[in-house]
Every structure is written in C-alpha cells, then in structure tokens.
C-alpha cells in the first residue's frame, strides 16, 4: 500500500454515536464471482480495490457472509488484516445461498449466532463493529432474530446492530428490543420508495446505508438535468448521483461497489462534488 494521504470522503458520521466513519464507504459485494457466487475471476484485482479504497480514505467497508458465500469476507481479511485502527468492517447474516443469484432468508436465532461466530473467524476479529440482519425471516418473530444479535452484543461479540430491507414499523419493533445503529435499504436517485424509512432513520439519528446507490438510467441521457449538471461540474452522472445522496441526509452512508480501481477512484471523487441548492432541488425532482 502506498503512503497516499487519506481524506474524509463525504464527511464523518458516528455509527451508534461512538464509531466515526467517513460517510462515503465501499460495498464489497461485487468482488465475488458472477451472481455474487464463488471466487472472483481476478482475486488480485479484488484485493487491489480493497487496499486502494483504504488509501483513498474510505473507512467504512460493508460486506456479508452471503457474498460468495464467504468469499468477500475472506478477501477483506486477506487484503486488509490487521485492519487500520480507523477502518470499520460491517457485515451481515441471515441469507442462505442455494446458488448464483439465489437468496433465502433464515433468521433462526441458533443460525444467526452460528453465522456471527463464523464471520468473526473469517474476518479475524474478536468483535464485529456493525452486524446487520440481512433480511427479516418471515417465519421467525423479528424480536427473536434481533434478540439473538442483542445477546451476542451483550457478550462483546458485536459492537452495533443494524437492519437491512425493513420498513419503518420493523425499525421501531427492533429498537424496542435493542439499540439499532443502522438500516440498509435499496435507495438511489431513481428509486426512492423507502423515503419513509430514510425519514425515520434521519429522525432517530441512525445511519441509512443505501445499497445500489448508483442508478441513473434514463436520467443520464444527453440533455437531461442530471447529464447537464454533471457536465457543468466536470463530473460523471454517477458522481452526481452519489453527491445527491450525501446531500440528501446527514445520516446517509452510500456504499458504491466495484471491482475496478479506476471506477473506485471515480466514486470516491464524488465526495468533492458540491451541489448548489438549485441543482439539489432539480435532481430531487427527478426519479422517485
């Protein structure tokens, strides 16, 4: 790793009120094989991306035991362990893989506890800074699923607990069991159907981690508001989409993922894009 001076992409947010991370993070799903299944075609390239992310000042890396499965966690340890003191590795459990692009929720308390133990071993840590319930298993009471993670938090194996793909009511139900530090839902410039969840997270002061944060589609067509604003900033539409997310709420922690160092560098540079009030309003009027 080089001695590149790291910056603070997107500013700083304190997970759980006590764990500072730079708001623009990195999502480590794409460093696996096709269908988020198996080893990547270029393991050395995946390791290079992870190391370059840290060099660029990224301190929040999000993964899951189901990415591979297990491949992403293994690569993160290989690339970054022993972890720099300021780097937070967040992982998730609660989805079982039955094949490429296949995901099955399993939230039995015994299973979740087993997966936490395995993630601890794969990542090479004694405590996971942020452990997220990857999906709510409809066959198991939410209180039991979150309660299992709360027991591991009490045992010192989890620092903070998060949720993924939940509605506003489920956040409140989970928060009645234990403190919730984050929620990770699909959200981007073109898909904002979780706006109410973002509002709840903002009101509660917990992190909102939008997965699939870059989705510009037709909004980036030549002559569009997004394309025009990007051109004026000498930026890409994807960078504008990330800049919009960072501006949208102070609790927003985008985690764009990529297997390309060049694309990674482009994404991190989005933190330097400052939207005017008019530009933010124009972009906010798009999509949804």
Question: Backbone phi, then psi, for 12, in 5-degree steps?
Answer: -120, 140
Is 166 in contact with 174 (CB distance < 8 Å)?
Answer: yes
Eight-state DSSP code of residue 81: P
Burial (0-12, 13-18, 19+ Cβ within 10 Å), 241: buried
Catalytic hit among 67, 83, 131, 187: 67
Measured CA to CA, the distance from residue 75 to residue 51 in angstroms comes to 11
Measured CA to CA, the distance from residue 39 to residue 59 in angstroms comes to 24
Give yes or no: 111 in active site. Answer: no
Residue from 63, 66, 18 nearest 207 by CA:
18
In Å, what is the CA distance from 100 to each residue of 9, 103, 110, 247?
33, 9, 25, 35
Six token digits for residue 127: 């405590």
Eight-state DSSP code of residue 176: T
What is the maximum alpha-carbon separation in the chain? 56
Beta bridge pairs of residue 102: 99
Measured CA to CA, the distance from residue 23 to residue 128 in angstroms comes to 19
DSSP helix/strand/coil, 22: strand
Catalytic residues: 67
């Amino acid at each position: 790793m080089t001695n590149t001076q790291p910056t603070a992409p997107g500013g700083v947010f304190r997970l759980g009120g006590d764990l500072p991370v730079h708001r623009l993070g990195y999502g480590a799903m794409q460093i696996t094989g096709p269908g988020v299944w198996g080893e990547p075609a270029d393991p050395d390239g995946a390791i290079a991306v992870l190391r370059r992310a840290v060099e660029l000042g990224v301190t929040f890396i999000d993964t899951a035991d189901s990415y591979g499965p297990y491949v992403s966690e293994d690569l993160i340890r290989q690339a970054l362990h022993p972890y720099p003191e300021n780097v937070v590795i967040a992982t998730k459990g609660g989805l079982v893989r039955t094949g490429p692009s296949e995901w099955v929720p399993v939230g039995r308390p015994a299973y979740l506890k087993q997966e936490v133990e395995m993630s601890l071993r794969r990542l090479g840590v004694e405590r996971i800074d942020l452990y997220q319930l990857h999906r709510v298993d409809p066959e198991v009471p939410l209180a039991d699923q979150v309660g299992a993670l709360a027991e591991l938090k009490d045992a010192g194996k989890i620092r903070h607990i998060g949720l993924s793909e939940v509605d506003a009511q489920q956040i409140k139900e989970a928060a009645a069991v234990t403190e919730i530090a984050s929620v990770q839902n699909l959200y981007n410039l073109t898909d904002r159907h979780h706006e109410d969840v973002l509002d709840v997270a903002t009101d509660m002061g917990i992190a909102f981690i939008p997965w699939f944060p870059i989705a510009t589609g037709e909004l980036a067509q030549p002559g569009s508001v997004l394309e025009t604003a990007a051109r004026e900033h000498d930026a890409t539409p994807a960078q504008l989409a990330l800049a919009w997310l960072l501006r949208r709420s102070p609790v927003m922690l985008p985690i764009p993922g990529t297997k390309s160092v060049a694309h990674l560098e482009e994404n991190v540079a989005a933190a330097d894009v400052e939207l005017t009030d008019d530009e933010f309003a124009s972009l906010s009027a798009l999509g949804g």
